[in-house]
Each structure stands twice: as structure tokens, then as C-alpha cells.
Amino acid sequence: MEKDSGYIFGPVPSRRLGLSLGVDLIPRKTCSFDCIYCQVGKTTDKRTENKDFYEPLEILSQLRKRLGERHPDTITLAGSGEPTLHKGLKEIINGIKKITDIPLALLTNGSLFWRQEVIDAALGADIILPTLSAGTEGTFRRIHRPHPEITLAKVLEGLGRLRNSFSGKILLEVMLVKGVNDQDHEIEALRDAITQVAPDRIQLNTVVRPPSESYATGLDSERLEQIRRFFGDNAEIIASPAPKDSLKKSWVLERDLVEMMRRRPVTAQDISSVTGESLEKINQLVEELLSRRVIEERVHEGRLYYTVK
């Protein structure tokens, strides 16, 4: 089976990794979690069992070709599902390291490191970006709606083992959802849990783009800053990056825009920032894609987003 949209997307500006070329290894919404804040939509294949979803050699071939056209800051295993569910993860990571010395990042929900083969595969990456958003089992289940086989205790055990084996950087994302995991007692429990993982950085995030569940809303900047202070100097709020000069060229290709929207909803301003093209030009292109029903509009907290239908 092949992915219709191809395996490589971007480069896109990442809040955490600069200009990031994405490698999408997993079918859309195949994940061990079904997070209430997920911007890709509801999980349709919730699993912990790994599988050879796509052919590693084909993924590597597409990446090699794209690297001939673009030079990103980072290559990121990410996309529309959980990458550690690919049985060939180790082969793919080792293959990428043979093609290029651009730093390789693994963006993961962090739920499967209790499996030794997942740790073994991930050790080939330069940066690992797991998520940990709850310090109590009930909140963990409420926010991530995990596969029944996954518990917070297992996740913490796995992340602790990862920390002991991995010498690269671990940047831990904490996704904060208003009224779900932002209360003082939740934040205290989370801090205790994070201590077991000992990440290099704690990166605080909140719901900005249209979520899977409309009740999942973001924190305001004042509360985010209070929580950042509570976590200490090792914590930061991850904010939208400035546009990169290297992308400020005529990059507005329909294929690239559609690829971007397939992975996450974007605003016209997002597209304009990435591409350096005027809002007027972006709006024209978006109108055309809307009229052809290639994309659709979604409104979230008063902002207009575009996503692939």
C-alpha cells in the first residue's frame, strides 16, 4: 500500500525545530491515543500493535528526492499518526542517517517506550519530542483517551527508560487544555511526573488550532506564563516562529499548500508567514481551492482555518 499524498511534507515552520521537513510514516489517524485536542481529527485505528504500514525503501527514496530540492533545518518523523507504530521505524531512521546529516527529530506521543524495540529504534534519532500532559491516571485518560493497554504508569516507565538510554536531546511537550489539566493540583502532579523523565526542556503548548473535540480550548497567555514560572527555568512556552528567509521565495505551489493543510488546519496568515507571499495572493489561491472543493473552512475561537476535505 502507498500513501496517496506521499510520505514527505513541507518544509513547514515548526515552533520547536525551525524549518522542518516532515516524514509521515503512518496512515492518517492511526494512533495509540485519541487526544481531545488532536488537530488531525478523531483516531480511526487505535492500536498499540506495530505494523509495516508502508515500504521503508519507498519512504527513503521520496525523502532523498525531496532533499535534492529543499534544505531544511531538521527532518522530522511526524504527520498524521503515531510514528513509533511503524514496524520498520529502526530501518527508516538508520536509512535517513545514511542519506543526510541533517538532524533527525522524532515527534511522538511517547506512549510506547515501554517496548524495548521502540527505544532501540528511537536511539538513532538526534532529538526526541514526546508528549506528557498529565500526572494523574484519570486526567491522562480524559485528555488522551488511550488504547486500553496503555496506562500513565507504563508511559512514565517507558519515558524513564528512554532517558536512561538516549544521549540526545529530549524536548518534552506539555499540552495544556483549559479546565482539563491546568488546575494547580494537576500541574503539581505533572511536575512530579516530569521529574521522572528528566527532559532537557519542558515545552508548554496549548490548544490553538481546531481540535478534535470543540470543548478542548486553550489557556490564555497569563495562565501559561504562571505555569511556566512554576516549572522553572527549564520550561518555555513554545510560540509561533518568525518566517524564515530561506522560504521567502515563490513557494506557493498548490501541492505544498494542500500537503500542509492535510496535516493540520492553517490560517491564511500562517500560509503567508511561511511563504512570504502577500495575504492577497494567498486569499486568491485559497478561494480557488475552496471553489474546487479541494479544501474546506473551519472556524475555531473566532479564527478561520483551512483544511483538506
What residues line the site for ligand SF4 (CB under 6 A)? 31, 33-35, 38, 40, 43, 81-82, 109
Cβ 155 to ligand SF4 shortest distance, Å: 12
Cβ 144 to ligand SF4 shortest distance, Å: 6
Cβ 229 to ligand SF4 shortest distance, Å: 26
Nearer to ligand SF4, 29 or 272 (CB): 29
Cβ 291 to ligand SF4 shortest distance, Å: 30
Cβ 98 to ligand SF4 shortest distance, Å: 28
| Half-sphere exposure (Cβ direction) of 100: Cα atoms closer than 13 Å | 25
Cβ 118 to ligand SF4 shortest distance, Å: 14
Nearer to ligand SF4, 79 or 124 (CB): 79
Nearer to ligand SF4, 122 or 247 (CB): 122
Nearer to ligand SF4, 102 or 238 (CB): 238
Nearer to ligand SF4, 147 or 169 (CB): 147
Length of the chain: 309
- Count of other CB atoms within 10 angstroms of residue 182: 18
Nearer to ligand SF4, 175 or 247 (CB): 175
